Amino acid sequence: MKKTIFGIALIFFIAFMILAAAGMRPFGEPAFSEMDDYYIDNAQSETGANNVVTTIVFDYRGFDTLGEATVLFTAVLGVTALFREVSK
Amino acid sequence: MNEMSRIVRTITTLIYGFIMIYGFYIIVHGHLTPGGGFQGGAIVASAFALLVVTYGNQGSKKFLSEDIFSLIETTGLVLFIAFAFFGLGITFFYNFMANSGGLFGNSAVAGINAGDLNTGGTVTIMNMAVGLEVLAAFGVIILTMSAGSEIISKKKENS
Amino acid sequence: MIGNFPYLAVALLIGLGIYTLIYKRNLIKIAIGITLIENGVNLFLITLGYRKGAIAPIFTQAPEGLKMVLPTPQALTLTSIVIGVATTALILSVAMIIFKKYGTLDTDEVRRLKE
């Protein structure tokens, strides 16, 4: 009974997503690109590296990388704490 | 415990060194070619997964040990945060080594060039720190989960 | 409409992932469903930043006279992939502990808190 209600809601959700996908901008024309044009034009003279994606990950948006390193550290902490043998 | 056949063991001892060298190459050249710290760390961790699958968890204890991996992971994370604090004269995470002439301080030729390893500033050092951390984190996860699954299957056999 | 094919693939992946979460009872299959949803979202993030006929945003020995794709969605997708790995590792560890205590992985039978 509960599964049939979820199934009908899932069909409505997939229909909405397919209608939204058909009505988006054509594939290959991004909407706004002023920030990325600044990154492509000025990344080589300001940082001196050739790879623009790496300078965005580690220099222009370094805070997100710090948060991700913390999430990875916490996951390792959780896995080690689950498999500990408590000696009696 | 469960070792694989002789063909798999021979190929593994021949090949796991080359996989690790390829992973370190992608980590170190992260500021010139596609790649970087996260991708190279995942490639080196797949070499560790190959060792654990071939020899089992008891047999791979002579190649890998969990305590050294834990030490390498904390070293990588502390190095990353320390180099973020060193630029605090202007702002947090400031690239104080780019275009300055010291270590990793050459400037890049504008436009399309062949790539110089000495450029990049703190981006190059942070690449190596995050690469060490991701490598050790995946190694600890693989070793702990395989040890846990062997304990569970041994208990199911005995009961 | 046929030009928007990557967005239809994203809708299909997310729909299949939610179907697996509702109708399957094994814990490992539920973990696979969660991974399917995360892969659909990562694909959506990358296809938002594409320019027609452009090359990768790297200056080392690139061909001349071409534009470059937007580099910011690629940087954010890297973070999302690593967080997905952390989530999958924790889900599979909890599934192993449940199998040790209950002896089965069927969600219709692990309904009570046993000691």
pLDDT at residue A88 above 70? no
For residues B55 and B68, the answer to whether their CB atoms sit within 8 Å is no
What per-residue confidence (pLDDT) applies to C115? 55
Alpha carbon distance C42, C44 (integer Å)? 5
**How would residue C10 be classed by pLDDT, with cut points 50, 70 and 90?**
very high
Strand partners of residue A34: none
pTM of the model: 0.90
The pLDDT of A31-59, averaged and rounded, is: 90
CB contact under 8 A, A24 and C7: yes
Chain B residues in contact with C65 (beta carbon < 8 A): none
H or E segment and range at residue B59: helix B37-59
**How would residue C112 be classed by pLDDT, with cut points 50, 70 and 90?**
confident
What per-residue confidence (pLDDT) applies to B137? 95
For A58, the closest chain B residue by CA position comes to B123
CB contact under 8 A, A57 and B36: yes
Sign of the four-CA dihedral A14, A16, A19, A25: negative
pLDDT at residue C12 above 90? yes
Average pLDDT for chain B: 89
**Residues of C at the B interface (Cβ-Cβ below 8 Å)?**
56, 58-62, 64, 78, 81-82, 89, 92-93, 96, 99-100
Quote the ipTM score.
0.87
CB contact under 8 A, C93 and B115: no
For residues B71 and B65, the answer to whether their CB atoms sit within 8 Å is no
What per-residue confidence (pLDDT) applies to C34? 96
pLDDT at residue B65 above 80? yes
What per-residue confidence (pLDDT) applies to A71? 96
Q: Which amino acid is at C92?
A: L
What whole-number percentage of chain A has pLDDT above 70?
98
Average pLDDT for chain A: 90
- Interval B85-111: pLDDT, tens: 988 888 888 888 887 777 887 777 777
What per-residue confidence (pLDDT) applies to C113? 65
- Interval C22-42: pLDDT, tens: 999 999 999 999 999 999 999
What per-residue confidence (pLDDT) applies to A68? 95
What per-residue confidence (pLDDT) applies to A31? 84
- Interval C47-104: pLDDT, tens: 998 988 888 998 888 888 888 999 999 999 999 999 999 999 999 999 999 999 888 8
| A18 token code pair | 């397919």
For residues B122 and C69, the answer to whether their CB atoms sit within 8 Å is no
DSSP 8-class letter at C4: G
- Interval B39-56: pLDDT, tens: 999 999 999 999 999 998
CB contact under 8 A, A64 and C19: no
Chain C residues in contact with A61 (beta carbon < 8 A): 75
Q: Which residues contact B16 (CB under 8 A, 6 or more apart)?
A: B47, B50, B51
Chain B residues in contact with A73 (beta carbon < 8 A): 73, 77, 133, 137
CA angle C87, B33, B49 (to 5 degrees): 40
